[in-house]
């Protein structure tokens, strides 16, 4: 069986957060959704649990970070193409998200970054591994002094 990843995120407004994630391509799994939590599925192995602050607080003794003011985590997700990176980012912006930084384009790697309604930062990226290997193979070797 494949390992699954569940990213747990505290949200101020569960219905708004659920709508945001649906707008960027996640689907809701009603089996694990109630008035305190929503299980949003990105792929067979990647799930995001949106939890009300009250629910999230049941799992940690620590104060919940204000992700609008503090970096807590950067969630990087691969896309199949540059167009996929642009599509999820544009959908996020249209659904109320904010661009978190300028796009990064290294030729073999392309990424953008957006914050969801609660400030959690997502970084969709595409990488051409063959292009990366070619680019790094052309770098001059450094000599130790």
What pLDDT, in 10s, does the model give residues 57-77? 999 999 999 999 999 899 999
Q: Tell me if domain 1-60 and domain 65-139 are identical in fold.
A: yes
pLDDT of 7 reads: 97
pLDDT digits (tens, 9 = 90+) for 34-43: 999 999 999 9
pLDDT of 2 reads: 82
Q: Does domain 1-60 have CATH number 3.10.180.10?
A: yes
Q: Does domain 65-139 have CATH number 3.10.180.10?
A: yes
The Cα–Cα gap between 96 and 16 comes to 10
Rounded to 5 degrees, what are φ and ψ at 90?
-65, -40
pLDDT of 144 reads: 59
* pTM assigned to the model: 0.86
Residue ranges of the chain whose pLDDT lies below 50: none
């Amino acid at each position: 069986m494949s390992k699954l990843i569940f990213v747990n995120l505290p949200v101020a407004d569960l219905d708004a957060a659920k709508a945001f994630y649906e707008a960027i391509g996640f689907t809701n799994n009603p089996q694990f959704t109630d008035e305190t939590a929503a299980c949003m599925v990105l792929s067979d192995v990647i799930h995001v649990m949106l939890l009300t602050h009250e629910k999230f607080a049941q799992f940690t003794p620590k104060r919940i970070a204000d992700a609008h003011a503090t970096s807590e985590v950067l969630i990087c997700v691969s896309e199949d193409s540059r167009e996929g990176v642009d599509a999820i980012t544009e959908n996020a912006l249209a659904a109320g998200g904010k661009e978190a930084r300028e796009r990064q384009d290294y030729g073999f790697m392309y990424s953008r970054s957006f914050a969801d309604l609660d400030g959690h930062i997502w970084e969709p990226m595409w990488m051409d591994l063959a292009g990366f290997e070619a680019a790094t193979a052309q770098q001059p070797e450094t000599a130790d002094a």
